[in-house]
Amino acid sequence: MKTARETDPLAPYLIGCYLINLVVCLNYWEYADTPGILSNLFKASILITYPLIYLAPIAVSLVLLRKLRNLFLGDVGVAVASIGLSAVLTITLYVDVRLFDLYGFHINAFVINLLMTPGGVESMGGGQQTYISAATTVITIITLHVALYLAVYKFHYHLSPSRRILYSMFAIFLLLTVSERMVYGFSELKQYAPVLKVSSMVPLYNRVTIRDLAKKFGVESVLKSRIQIEETAQTLNYPLKPLTVNTPAIRPNIIWLVSESMRWDMLSPEIMPNTWEQSHQGWRFTEHFSGGNGTRQGLFSLFYGIYGSYWETFLAAHKAPVLMEILAEQDYQLQMYTSADFTYPEFDQTLFANLPASALHQLENDLTPWQRDKLNTSHITEFIRSRDTARPFMVFMFYESTHARYDFPEETALRTPYLPDLNYATMTRKSLAPRISELKNRYINASHFIDSELAGIYQLLTEQGLWENTIVMLTGDHGEEFMENGFWGHNAGFSEQQIRTPMVLWLPGESPRVIEARTSHMDIVPTLLPLLGVSTPSSEYSIGQDIQTLTTNSRPYIVVSDWAGLAYLDDDCKFTLPFNSSLNLSNQLFDRADKPSTDIVAFLTRNKSHLDEILTDARRFTLDPNKK
């Protein structure tokens, strides 16, 4: 008679699932190319053990389900649950591998928000072929797990491993996982960069430190502590005190023009000739940085003048920026346009939380991005022509053509050849690399098209004599990388290409100038509010500075945000400060060419006061409800 062990198909099925996931995870190998035997052994240990770690919760769930099958599930219910849970894990790992391949980040808060927020998936701009390919991949993975389950169910008498084999496998796993954690612990202690880099290769890597243990044996850590942004339950304290406002006799009109993913080098005589020519009448900034590497953090810093790390707190409170509240109090005609959605990102609950729905204009997604941009531009010009001339107005426009897939009408193409389309589901870094210049040509063409639309607005302002009393701004929410540092897109790091944007500001009565000082999106609000009659010091509502007080290289550093934390940037380097909840980030140092640096101890010694200031500013506009 067969024993229970020999007739139970669960063990061989889980081993098969492990092997499937191991094959998927092996794709991470090439993304952590590090020198040295130690780092490569560490990398191999991670790739062998983590597919099993990911599978462990599912294994426990399946054991429980099998025990309950006689109560209400039955064999069919257990089969469906087994295949469903294991297939979901494989699909999740596959998606994570593809994300990490193209963008350099794992499934994180940004990705989850993308999936959960209305309009999120649509904002990616994937074509029909992308959805077909994605569906095909999901069906293939599910089919693979069904075939595995059926094979194991039929042949498990021959496939069931002996207890000796199971114990040996567990012993090997234990040896590998304990060893790689010890290697990581010592590497973190001494800041051995190759191993630390590898640790970010897989999602949810468990960073075990041995600082306390090492200290008992007289071994000190190179870094005394991790510098991170604390995330605690907080309430808003914004602004720090009520603003003093003396409404000016003549209130300036305001037009804010923002193009999705537009980086600084798109503003050139060739690519954006109309804006380049018009920029000679205003302030053109040569070293301007967004407050973030993504749309939320970028536009949040632009409208609020504070770190993007405050986003979640302001979103929860539905708190509008003081800029928009003052404009409403001063009876501005407020008209906001987007070719994306106001619900994704959630600007209807943050930037424009104080505005009625009638002031928020978005178009249906059955139009292409360039068609929406063109139609929105015509709506803006119609509004300006038909406005109440007795009242000032504020117009905001968010152009979408420069977001991937980089959309434009063919007749406006400036650069050829360009990639015909993007299939996110099949695209890999390896397949994209030979054609990255064609993809960038799409982006350049989209930027060129946006400039042709902006020309109509510039011309209208000239025709109606509005330049004399209108503040006009042109910028990007963040930049876009085209594998200059190994990845494509944004939200993947703080490379120059992802965070540096164009900035042109036309201020009534100000002489044209080129500003070479390093500036930030956070500087715009403290520059504009005094023009609206605000006399309160900007430190009460912003972390930025009035641009008119800046001189060349007068600011020692700026700060940029993403979903996982903040980054410090000065003349020489960039340094990351993760949130305390970030699982896959640690303090990292790069030079301004975005190359990893090992001089982290010297950096911390040299910039301690600046980092302390950043940590203070990250909490300045909130109150800890647990402290009285």
Kindly report the CA angle at 407 between 404 and 411, in degrees rounded to 5?
155
The pLDDT tens digits for 504-538 are 999 999 999 999 999 999 999 999 999 999 999 99
* Tokens describing residue 617: 């500013």
> Distance between CA atoms of 610 and 556, rounded to whole angstroms?
9
The single-letter code of the amino acid at 308 is G
| Residue scoring higher pLDDT (206 or 465) | 465
Greatest mean pLDDT among 4-18, 84-98, 107-121? 84-98
The single-letter code of the amino acid at 192 is Y
| Beta bridge partner(s), residue 229 | 579
DSSP alpha helix (H) spans, 305-435:
311-317, 322-329, 369-386, 429-432
Give buried/exposed letters for 576-608 (b at 16+ CB in 10 A, else e). bbbbeebebbbbbbbeeebeebeebeebbeebe
- Domain 238-623 adopts which CATH fold? Alkaline Phosphatase, subunit A (3.40.720)
Report the sign of the C-alpha dihedral through residues 546, 548, 549, 554, in that order.
Answer: positive
First to last CA, the chain: 71
The pLDDT tens digits for 220-247 are 665 555 677 776 657 899 999 999 999 9
Q: Is residue 322 within 8 Å of residue 303, measured between CB atoms?
A: no
- Sequence length of the chain is 628
Where residue 4 falls among pLDDT bands split at 50, 70, 90? very low
- Among 20-29, 256-265, 450-459, where is mean pLDDT lowest? 20-29
**Across 316-335, average pLDDT:** 97
DSSP alpha helix (H) spans, 124-255:
128-159, 163-190, 193-199, 211-216
Residue 119 has pLDDT above 90, yes or no: no
Q: Is residue 231 within 8 Å of residue 623, measured between CB atoms?
A: no
Where residue 24 falls among pLDDT bands split at 50, 70, 90? very high
Give buried/exposed letters for 222-244 (b at 16+ CB in 10 A, else e). ebeebbbbeeeebeeebbeeebe
Beta strands in 298-359 (DSSP E): 333-338
Q: Is residue 392 within 8 Å of residue 379, measured between CB atoms?
A: no
In the chain, where does the domain assigned CATH 3.40.720.10 lie?
A: 238-623
- Among 469-483, 578-592, 604-618, where is mean pLDDT lowest? 578-592
Where residue 5 falls among pLDDT bands split at 50, 70, 90? very low
Query: Is the bond leading into 417 cis (omega within 30 degrees of zero)?
Result: yes
Residue 292 has pLDDT above 50, yes or no: yes
Q: What is the DSSP string of 127-151?
A: -HHHHHHHHHHHHHHHHHHHHHHHH
Mean pLDDT of the chain: 87
**Helices 10-25 and 74-103: crossing angle, nearest 10°?**
10
The single-letter code of the amino acid at 380 is I
**Across 199-207, average pLDDT:** 83
- Give the pLDDT of residue 77: 77
Q: What is the pTM of this model?
A: 0.85
Where residue 584 falls among pLDDT bands split at 50, 70, 90? low
Residue 1 has pLDDT above 50, yes or no: no
Cα→Cα distances 335→342, 358, 370, 467, Å: 13, 8, 20, 18
